[in-house]
Chain A
Amino acid sequence: MMGEILVHPTFDQLAPMRAQLTAMLEPEHALKTERLQDLRLAVSEATTNAIEAHGRAKTEVPVKVSVSITKNNVVVKITDRGTGFDPSKLTAHPPVTDPKRLEYERGLGVSLMRTLTDGCDISSNAKGTTVTLTMLR
Chain B
Amino acid sequence: MIRQASCFGCFGELGLQSVSQPTFEVAHHAGWAVMRVSGEIDMATAPQLRHHVVTVTTDTPDGLVLDLNSVDFIDSTGLGVIVGAARRMRMNDADFRIVCAQAHLVDLFRITRLSEVLDLFETLEEAFVDIDPTVDWAGA
Contact = CB atoms under 8 A, between A and B. Distances in A.
A11 B44 contact: yes
B17 A19 contact: yes
Interface stretch (B28-36, B61-69, B109-117, B125-133): B109-117
A101 B81 CA distance: 13
A96 B3 contact: no
A48 B2 contact: no
Interface string B64-94: 0000000001011101110110110010000
Contacts of B79: 108
Given A11-B43, A15-B40, A41-B75, A1 B112 contact: no
A136 interface: no
Contacts of B140: none
Q: For the complex, would chain A's binding face be called helix, strand, loop or mixed by DSSP majority?
A: helix
Nearest to A51: B43
Interface size class on chain B is: 35 or more
B40 to A, nearest CB: 5
Interface in A90-111: 96-97, 101-109, 111
Contacts of A120: none
A90 B44 CA distance: 23
A20 B75 contact: no
A106 B44 contact: no
If over half of B's interface residues share one DSSP class (helix, strand or loop), that class is named, otherwise mixed; here it is: mixed
Interface string A102-128: 111111110110011000000000000
Interface string B1-19: 1111111000000101101
A70 to B, nearest CB: 12
A102 B2 contact: no
Nearest to B11: A4
A3 B5 CA distance: 6
B93 to A, nearest CB: 14
13 contacts: A3-B6, A13-B16, A15-B73, A16-B16, A16-B17, A34-B104, A96-B117, A101-B83, A105-B83, A106-B80, A112-B76, A112-B112, A115-B111
Interface of B: 1-7, 14, 16-17, 19, 40, 42-44, 73, 75-77, 79-81, 83-84, 86-87, 90, 103-104, 108, 111-114, 116-117
Interface of A: 1-8, 11-20, 24, 34, 37, 40-41, 44-45, 48, 51-52, 62, 96-97, 101-109, 111-112, 115-116
Given A11-B44, A102-B86, A108-B80, 8 more contacts: A4-B4, A15-B44, A40-B73, A48-B42, A48-B77, A97-B116, A102-B90, A111-B112
